[in-house]
Amino acid sequence: GENVEQHPSTLSVQEGDSAVIKCTYSDSASNYFPWYKQELGKRPQLIIDIRSNVGEKKDQRIAVTLNKTAKHFSLHITETQPEDSAVYFCAARSLTGRRALTFGSGTRLQVQP
Amino acid sequence: GAGVSQSPSNKVTEKGKDVELRCDPISGHTALYWYRQSLGQGLEFLIYFQGNSAPDKSGLPSDRFSAERTGGSVSTLTIQRTQQEDSAVYLCASGGVGNQPQHFGDGTRLSIL
């Protein structure tokens, strides 16, 4: 089945700097890659997603890139703000096998004011 | 409804008791997922329902765990003879057909004494 690895597990940046979180997946049949942000005690919230027919997608300060050949995808946050501090999870969903999302282990991002 | 609704929000029970957790998905969503999140950990897939198809139960950790989805809408996750290791936040998510995003509820925080 699908296996998703995420790193780093923790990331501390200064306000205004960029943050990059990387994930790799194992199942070449995966075609959907969402990113979720989870603040302490809250539900995971979808912030951006990408499908396998697209290499990059942007939404204001966040962007996701996908390299299908290398089977990795990344989240980029520019001009970070303290309210970006949270745990971020990547996930992948395969066209075959399990149809539920397989999640990475999460990255705790801390933006220092 | 506006979003995925879960109840109760918190549940404290004694070891050995049975518990039922409820999930009300977003209206019209055919897919429903249950995940478990232990403190400070990632999201562990439990079970997936899609329309009238047989559920994917491959993530259920033991035969003490079961779930139903009645009428293609509300779902109930039941844990029998609870153990302390069952303590976690149980998250439900629903999604549309195909590669539509999953949206999470606020979860049920289950504590086994």
Q: Which of A31, A46, A93 sits opposite B103 (nearest CB)?
A: A46
Q: For chain A (length 113 residues), average pLDDT per consecutive 10? A: 93 97 94 94 94 90 96 97 97 81 95 94
The answer to whether the beta carbons of residues B44 and B33 sit under 8 Å apart is no
Using the Cβ of A44 and the Cβ atoms of chain B, whether some distance falls under 8 Å is answered with yes
At residue A94, the pLDDT reads 84
Reported as a pLDDT band with limits 50, 70 and 90, residue B98 is low
Residues paired with A102 in a beta bridge: A92
Between A58 and B97, residue with greater pLDDT: A58
Does B1 have pLDDT greater than 60? no
Tens of pLDDT, residue by residue over B42-71, are 899 999 998 888 899 999 999 999 999 988
Cβ–Cβ pairs < 8 A, chains A and B: 50
SS3 at position A30: strand
Q: What's the sign of the alpha-carbon dihedral A74, B49, B20, B104?
A: positive
Q: Percentage of chain B surpassing pLDDT 70?
A: 96
Nearest Cα residue to B66 out of B51, B81, B53: B81
Is residue B74 very low, low, confident or very high in pLDDT (cuts 50, 70, 90)?
Answer: very high
Task: Give chain B positions within 8 Å (CB) of A32.
Answer: 99
